[in-house]
Structure 1
């Protein structure tokens, strides 16, 4: 027989309350139609003018969606609009029509499974140069170009790894390995 502690009786209502509000919040910011608007791009807009031009081209206002049911008509907190962000793996940039979010110092990403713009917790842009603010609107992601540079860095790393894999069967690889061991031994005076 399972026994409950007295603290469990207080914790359970709190958990139910938190889950209810998280679900409600996700319902307001997640929209399945967003997936149909995803367009992978080589580069995201770099300034307000090019952002506005891209937003006009995507015409997110013209997309019929019923995801805003339950949101007050005068609410500016959640707006279905153009975004250009990184993907979850930080290896591609994409345009998408989605609800804006308040981000907490991380690069904006679009999560396809959740159909939602969210923080990429592996990309803390408050530590970038120049840094992003600790709180900003996802629709202003273009202001923080360092987030897009993460994609370029990942592309370079992928190319280097691919090249290394291709040459791993090559005869020069053992010689390179021996050369590096020789250098390391010389540096460590072994």
Structure 2
């Protein structure tokens, strides 16, 4: 018998499966986009309003960037924190859902926008679109409380780029985690079936 959401009788198992499927579908949408990396620039601050975001987006011209990641209309402006919580970056990338009241980050090693797992954002909703990061200024305050940016940050930029390149294991970690969750799910379903028999 094939296990589907409809033939699971236990309500808790059905909820767990639905959350797991949602999680996997959202995680699989956070694809690597190497074309985004060439658009990344370190900036001293990010937009604080929709008007500032629109102006920065118009200036960045993400719709004109030649890329092969997504449809051109889905390659959009972002201003987010970096992985190391020491800079803000402007980048053109596909918008993704950010989950778990976390801040959005651009990961140069993974060449993607994703949630920053070590941030806790009390003003962020559980789920929001990464291109709406300007609405959650708390995330930028994390950076500015950790680092004072100087006018000449070229040395800082090269050190940040070098250290972010060393993080190629992010995708592999998610794949292994997903496989582990599937195995645990199968074991739980089999245990429930054997109890009913």
Relative to the length of structure 1, the TM-score reads 0.61
Deviations 1:100-121 (A, max 9, x none): 0100110000000111000001
Cα root mean square deviation, aligned: 2.3
The corresponding residue for 1:40 is 42
The corresponding residue for 1:114 is 110
Q: State how far apart, in whole Å, the 1-side matches of 2:87 and 2:68 are.
A: 28
Distance of aligned partners of 1:24 and 1:120 in 2 relative to their CA distance in 1, 3 Å threshold = closer
The corresponding residue for 2:92 is 97
In the comparison of the two structures, how many residue pairs are matched?
125
- Answer yes or no: is the 8 Å Cα contact 1:86–1:92 preserved in 2: yes
- Answer yes or no: is the 8 Å Cα contact 1:30–1:99 preserved in 2: no
1:42-81 equivalence runs, <5 A: 42-68=44-70, 79-81=74-76
The corresponding residue for 2:130 is 138
Q: Is residue 146 of structure 2 the alignment partner of residue 154 of structure 1?
A: yes
Deviations 1:114-149 (A, max 9, x none): 1100000111113xxxx1111100000000001000
Paired residue secondary structure (1:37): coil
Q: Is residue 78 of structure 2 the alignment partner of residue 83 of structure 1?
A: yes
- Answer yes or no: is the 8 Å Cα contact 1:44–1:85 preserved in 2: yes
The corresponding residue for 1:25 is 29
Structure 2: state its 5+ residue gaps. 1-20, 149-197
Paired residue secondary structure (2:58): helix
- Answer yes or no: is the 8 Å Cα contact 1:108–1:138 preserved in 2: yes
Deviations 1:70-110 (A, max 9, x none): xxx9xx8xx21000000001110010000101001100000
Structure 1: state its 5+ residue gaps. 1-17, 157-190
